[in-house]
């Protein structure tokens, strides 16, 4: 090595790079001006020689290639070049036959660009927004992004890991060697970045992270949009997608008086060997929804998850490869939107998988989770809990949630596991109180308020649904009014309570009728969505159908009765994978839901619901009213939970006519009767605290809906005349 070149070398810095302990390799590697010359340095461990080659240089007197000098036998090369502008060049690296790890590695020639000839690509303003914790597009900043830069095609990698000593990008393109492609830290931001020429979509990679205690571990990219379940977790540089999604309702305000009926699906039930789940869903689900009249589809978690627990995410950006590709998911969403069916995604920002190659202890510290296990670990599900006070977590989760709307055309998000977020002592024996000594997670509450407010500001029509099993108040109150700002609360308690009741033998239901009105004590506290058979195919109790008493005929009757009771009850509707009864009954129930104002308008107002009879133990029948401000909208519901046909009388609010418009026992649904054509007039018989009543015959295990029809003026005159005649003696002529 010539003396001038030797004097220009920073040998302490070179040693830092060789030992892979450098967080700013760009200050050493690559080209650096030295007066009128350029010092070029490169590190290729175990290489025999490195040649710098220019493609089509075409300048007189300038060579098309030059061999670099060996500065250190570990593979450090340098060359002093008589120019201030190197242009685009390629390294031709030769490895002679050598022994490594007990194997003989044959001679190999590697051609690659120089990652360190490029200036930083990340924008200072974007970095500042990220540090502040209000970045809604963090996945556009971090992760891997294929692009053209400085005359070369390649991929920009960026990762946030402020406590790491060194981070390298490893992949097939560099033989998974962490000594190569060491990333460059952006000052005090904690972000490492590196543009690697030649890395293209489809290439696999991981981050090799050296902790400050000198431990080395490989991690998947937290912001990768494609993840493979191999060698831990391997990220993939994403393809540039041409598939675009469009939301149906994102620019409209949520109408609480609309008919919201949701068909809930578990995408893993559509997995088979021949076709991806998303393709199969595209073939099946839109037809089910159109045939049955559902307005929306709720898709279970589609992100890469751990084992059999589908909601325990490994990645919050990558679609699970077991289900299909991102483009196939987008195509499925577009198929639903073409049929005017909205899409609601499950999103689980409450915990993440406790896997070594994932988010846990990402840079050697609790970057995403609380480091204290009393705060950062959920033993009951073996998962890590997010630290919502961290700006890193805010950016990470905000961007993940917004990705559903921005990339996948979501019309709604069902935010799962809210109770675990809200309470510090949820399913814990040891926990840390908040600053006021209470058990509420104040940081999580603040995060949810911020997320809902930001989402509504950009997408006013986005349905925001809280899946919450707690008694926390104000879930659906506006964030500006000290609520959490959700549109609806997913009421699992309603279904659990009703399931406990309907699974009883009909002989015992009469004495337990109080379980039905009990639920109404809180039905108007929040704006609820009511699930039916929601999670039953995977729960410990099995499907609802399987736990119902009786033979197949009785089970089917009770399934129809349950569906009718769901639609009769105040609250928006969710039907899970209840294949036994999907079909015409839901088409007709959804049609009634859409056309009958009493079923959807003002359902959060307790004044619009009235029990008529709910304590008839002997008959196990109940009756109630749904109504609006207009008496002509009123509907009367009568449900027979017993196993025998009943003659049942119930008080009614108004004198007038009552016409049956629906029965769950209709032959069209597999029952044994049909809608009665008899129009019943209310009589003067007092019942249930009412001056008027009607009597009906109702089939076992069925429900009927009757619509109130006021008298016309002429009919009313006849009724008045008849009443006078009935109760007024008339003088008779005496002989």
How far from each other are the two terminal CA atoms of the chain, in whole angstroms?
148
pLDDT digits (tens, 9 = 90+) for 671-723: 999 999 999 999 989 999 999 999 999 999 999 999 999 999 998 888 888 88
Q: Which of 415, 406, 411 is nearest to 386 (CA)?
A: 415
Query: What does the alpha-carbon distance between residue 663 and residue 293 come to, in Å, rounded to a whole number?
Result: 18
Confidence grade of residue 309 (pLDDT, cut at 50, 70, 90): low
pLDDT digits (tens, 9 = 90+) for 270-299: 998 888 999 999 999 999 999 899 999 999
Are 592 and 661 within 8 A, CB to CB? Answer: yes
Does residue 580 surpass a pLDDT of 60?
Answer: no
pTM: 0.91
Q: What is the pLDDT of residue 84?
A: 80
Does residue 238 surpass a pLDDT of 90?
Answer: yes
Confidence grade of residue 583 (pLDDT, cut at 50, 70, 90): low
DSSP string for residues in 430-448: S----TTS-SB-HHHHHHH
Does residue 537 surpass a pLDDT of 50?
Answer: no
DSSP string for residues in 241-273: -------SSTTS---TTS--EEEEE-GGGG--S
Every domain range in the chain assigned CATH 2.60.40.10: 118-236
3.30.420.40, 3.30.1330.10, 2.60.40.1180, 3.40.50.1820: which CATH number matches 607-719?
2.60.40.1180
Q: What phi and psi values does residue 557 have, to the nearest 5 degrees? A: -60, -40
Element (H, E) at 156: strand 152-160
Token pair 């296990």 is found at 373
Q: What is the pLDDT of residue 6?
A: 74
DSSP string for residues in 357-371: TTTTTTTSS-SSB-S
Q: Which of 53, 18, 46, 170 is nearest to 107 (CA)?
A: 46
Count the alpha carbons within 13 Å of 650 in the hemisphere toward its beta carbon. Answer: 31
Query: What does the alpha-carbon distance between residue 606 and residue 435 come to, in Å, rounded to a whole number?
Result: 38
Average pLDDT, the chain: 91
Q: Is 20 left (phi over 0), alpha (psi -120 to 50) or beta?
A: left
| 3-class SS of residue 171 | strand
Alpha helices in 20-114 (DSSP H): none
> For residue 199, what are the β-bridge partners?
none
Are 166 and 21 within 8 A, CB to CB? Answer: yes
Q: Which of 238, 288, 575 is nearest to 403 (CA)?
A: 238
Which homologous superfamily does the CATH classification assign to the domain defined by 118-236?
Immunoglobulins (2.60.40.10)
Does residue 535 surpass a pLDDT of 50?
Answer: no
> For residue 184, what are the β-bridge partners?
193
Least confident of 53-67, 194-208, 224-238, 534-548: 534-548
Does residue 590 surpass a pLDDT of 70?
Answer: yes
Every domain range in the chain assigned CATH 2.60.40.1180: 607-719
Query: How large a percentage of the chain has pLDDT more than 70?
Result: 95
Dihedral of CA atoms 186, 188, 191, 193 in degrees, nearest 10, equals: 10
Query: What does the alpha-carbon distance between residue 185 and residue 222 come to, in Å, rounded to a whole number?
Result: 17
Does residue 218 surpass a pLDDT of 80?
Answer: yes
pLDDT digits (tens, 9 = 90+) for 381-415: 999 999 999 999 999 999 999 999 999 999 999 99
For residue 583, the tally of other CB atoms under 10 A from its CB is 15
Query: What does the alpha-carbon distance between residue 43 and residue 41 come to, in Å, rounded to a whole number?
Result: 7
| 3-class SS of residue 342 | strand
Least confident of 110-119, 245-254, 352-361, 449-458: 245-254
Q: What is the pLDDT of residue 538?
A: 43
What's the CATH architecture for 3-113? Sandwich (2.60)
Which segments within 641-735 are labelled E, that is strand? 646-652, 657-663, 679-681, 692-698, 702-709
Q: What phi and psi values does residue 666 have, to the nearest 5 degrees? A: -60, 140
Element (H, E) at 12: helix 11-18
């Amino acid at each position: 090595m010539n003396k001038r070149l030797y004097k220009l070398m920073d040998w302490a810095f070179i040693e830092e790079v060789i030992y892979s302990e450098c967080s700013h390799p760009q200050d050493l590697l690559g080209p650096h001006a030295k007066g009128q010359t350029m010092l070029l340095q490169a590190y290729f461990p175990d290489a025999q020689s490195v040649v710098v080659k220019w493609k089509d240089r075409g300048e007189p007197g300038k060579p098309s290639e030059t061999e670099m000098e060996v500065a250190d036998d570990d593979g450090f090369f340098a060359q002093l070049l008589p120019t201030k502008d190197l242009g685009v060049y390629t390294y031709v690296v030769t490895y002679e036959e050598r022994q490594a790890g007990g194997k003989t590695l044959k001679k190999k020639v590697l051609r690659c660009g120089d990652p360190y000839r490029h200036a930083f690509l990340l924008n200072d303003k974007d970095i500042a927004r990220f540090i502040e914790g209000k970045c809604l597009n963090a996945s556009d900043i971090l992760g891997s992004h294929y692009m053209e830069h400085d005359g070369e095609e390649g991929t920009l990698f960026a990762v946030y890991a402020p406590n790491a000593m060194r981070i390298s990008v490893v992949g097939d393109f560099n033989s998974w060697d962490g000594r190569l492609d060491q990333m460059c830290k952006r000052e005090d931001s904690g972000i490492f970045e590196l543009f690697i020429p030649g890395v293209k979509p489809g290439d696999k990679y991981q981050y090799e992270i050296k902790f400050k205690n000198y431990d080395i571990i490989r991690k998947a990219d937290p912001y990768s949009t494609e993840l493979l379940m191999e060698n831990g977790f391997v990220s993939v540089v994403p393809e540039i997608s041409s598939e675009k999604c469009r939301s149906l309702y994102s620019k409209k305000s949520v109408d609480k008086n609309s008919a919201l009926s949701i068909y809930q699906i578990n995408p893993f039930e559509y997995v088979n060997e021949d076709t991806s789940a998303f393709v199969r869903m595209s073939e099946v689900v839109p037809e089910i929804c159109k045939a049955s009249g559902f307005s929306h589809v709720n898709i279970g978690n589609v992100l890469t998850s751990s084992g059999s627990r589908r909601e325990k995410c490994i990645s919050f950006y990558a679609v699970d490869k077991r289900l299909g590709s991102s483009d196939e998911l987008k195509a499925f969403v577009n198929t639903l939107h073409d049929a005017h069916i909205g899409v609601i995604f499950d999103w689980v920002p409450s915990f993440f998988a406790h896997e070594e190659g994932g988010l846990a202890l990402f840079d050697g510290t609790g970057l995403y989770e609380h480091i204290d296990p009393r705060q950062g670990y959920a033993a009951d599900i073996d998962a890590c809990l997010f630290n919502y006070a961290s700006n890193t977590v805010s950016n990470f989760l905000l961007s993940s949630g917004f990705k559903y709307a921005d990339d996948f055309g979501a019309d709604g998000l069902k935010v799962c596991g809210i109770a675990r977020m809200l309470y510090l002592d949820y399913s814990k024996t040891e926990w840390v109180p908040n600053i006021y000594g209470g058990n509420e997670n104040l940081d999580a509450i603040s995060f949810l308020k911020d997320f809902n407010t930001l989402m509504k500001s950009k997408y006013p029509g986005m349905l925001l649904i809280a899946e919450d099993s707690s008694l926390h108040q104000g879930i659906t109150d506006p964030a500006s009014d000290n609520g959490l700002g959700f549109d609806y609360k997913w009421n699992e308690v309603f279904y659990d309570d009703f399931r406990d009741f309907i699974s009883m033998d009909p002989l015992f239901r009469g004495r337990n009728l109080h379980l039905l009105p009990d639920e109404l004590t809180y039905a108007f506290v929040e704006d609820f969505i009511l699930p039916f058979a929601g999670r039953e195919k995977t729960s410990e109790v099995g499907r609802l159908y399987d736990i119902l008493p009786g033979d197949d005929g009785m089970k089917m009757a009770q399934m129809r009765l349950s569906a009718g009771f769901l639609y009769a009850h105040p609250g928006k509707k969710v039907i899970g994978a209840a294949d036994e009864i999907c079909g015409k009954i839901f088409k007709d129930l959804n049609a009634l839901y859409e056309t009958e104002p009493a079923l959807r308008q003002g359902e959060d107002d307790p004044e619009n619901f009235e029990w008529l009879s709910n304590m008839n133990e002997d008959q196990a029948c109940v009756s109630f009213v749904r109504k609006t401000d207009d008496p002509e909208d009123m509907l009367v519901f009568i449900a027979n939970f017993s196993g025998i046909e009943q003659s049942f009388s119930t008080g009614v609010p108004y004198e007038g006519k009552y016409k049956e418009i629906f029965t769950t026992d209709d032959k069209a649904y597999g029952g044994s009767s049909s809608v009665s054509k008899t129009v019943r007039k209310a009589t003067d018989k007092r019942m249930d605290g009412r001056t008027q009543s009607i009597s009906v015959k109702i089939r076992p295990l069925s429900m009927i809906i009757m619509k109130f029809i006021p008298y016309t003026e002429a009919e009313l005159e006849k009724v008045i005349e008849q009443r006078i005649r009935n109760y007024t003696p008339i003088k008779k002529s005496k002989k």
